C-alpha cells in the first residue's frame, strides 16, 4: 500500500503551480493539472511520483470524469487562473465571463467534486489568490472581482467543511515573476522587472508552511509581498 500523501495542483505546467508541485513532490504523489499535456509531462519528468493530469477545467464533463478517479486526496492546490487587465470601459462581457469561469466557477466545481476524497483524507485546500483579492485597483476590475469571489468561496468552504476536518488556506501573493505577470505588465504598459517581484518558489514555500502546520494550527490566510516593493 502506498503510504505517501497525495496532491493535485492545477496550473502546474509553469509558474507558481509548477513551484508548488516541486515543493510537494518529496512527500506527496502529485497530479499535475493543466491543459498542455506535453508541458505537464516535462514537469513530471523531474518530480518522482508526479504525473500529468491534463484537463481543461472549463470542460465540466471532462473535469467530472477525471475527478471521479480520485478516491482520496490530501492536498488540493488551485493555482490555475487567467488575468485580462483593462479599464472597465474596455472589458467586454466575454472577458468577464471567461475570467469568472476560470478563476471561480472551475475552482468551485472541481472542489465540489473532490470533497468526498478530501473528507476521506481530512485534507487541505489551498487557493492561490492575489493581492487583488484584498484590494481592487484601477484596470483590474474583472480579475479583482474574481479574486474577491475566490476569497469568499474559501471563507465559506472553510466554515462548511471544518467539521469534516478539511482545512482551507487562501494565499495572497503580490507580483510574482511568472509568465502571467509578464503579460499583465504588457497590458498595463509597464516594464516586466522580475528582480523586483516574488519568486514562485517563495510562494510555494508559504503554501508548504500552511500544509505542514500542526493539527492545532489552522493557517487560514497568508499575505506575501515582494521585499523589493
Active-site residue flag, 143: yes
DSSP state of 103: I
Q: Write down the catalytic residue from 52, 111, 125, 143.
A: 143
Instruction: Look at strands 221-224 and 167-173 and give their pairing.
Output: parallel
| Residue 209: count of CB within 10 angstroms of its CB | 13
Q: Is 47 helix (H, G, I), strand (E, B) or coil?
A: coil
Q: How far is CA 99 from the centre of its chain?
A: 14
CA distance 199 to 13: 16
Contact 168, 207 (CB under 8 A): no
Q: What residues are labeled active site?
A: 143
Amino acid at each position: 500500500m502506498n503510504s505517501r500523501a497525495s496532491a493535485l495542483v492545477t496550473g502546474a505546467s509553469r509558474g507558481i503551480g509548477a513551484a508548488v508541485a516541486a515543493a510537494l513532490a518529496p512527500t506527496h504523489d502529485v497530479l499535475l493539472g493543466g491543459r498542455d499535456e506535453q508541458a505537464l509531462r516535462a514537469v513530471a519528468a523531474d518530480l518522482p511520483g508526479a504525473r500529468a493530469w491534463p484537463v481543461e477545467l472549463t470542460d465540466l464533463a471532462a473535469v467530472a470524469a477525471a475527478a471521479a478517479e480520485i478516491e482520496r486526496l490530501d492536498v488540493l492546490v488551485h493555482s490555475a487562473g487567467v488575468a485580462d487587465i483593462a479599464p472597465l470601459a474596455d472589458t467586454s462581457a466575454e472577458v468577464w465571463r471567461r475570467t469568472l469561469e476560470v478563476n471561480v466557477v472551475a475552482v468551485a466545481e472541481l472542489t465540489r467534486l473532490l470533497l468526498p476524497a478530501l473528507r476521506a483524507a481530512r485534507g487541505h485546500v489551498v487557493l492561490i489568490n492575489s493581492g487583488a483579492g484584498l484590494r481592487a485597483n484601477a484596470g483590474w476590475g474583472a480579475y479583482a472581482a474574481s479574486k474577491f469571489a475566490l476569497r469568499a468561496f474559501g471563507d465559506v468552504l472553510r466554515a462548511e467543511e471544518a467539521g469534516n476536518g478539511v482545512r482551507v488556506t487562501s494565499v495572497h501573493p503580490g507580483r510574482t515573476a511568472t509568465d502571467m505577470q509578464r503579460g499583465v505588465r504588457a497590458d498595463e504598459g509597464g516594464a516586466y522587472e522580475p528582480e523586483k517581484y516574488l519568486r514562485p518558489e517563495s510562494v510555494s514555500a508559504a503554501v508548504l508552511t500552511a500544509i505542514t502546520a500542526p493539527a492545532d494550527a489552522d493557517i487560514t490566510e497568508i499575505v506575501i509581498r515582494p521585499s523589493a516593493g
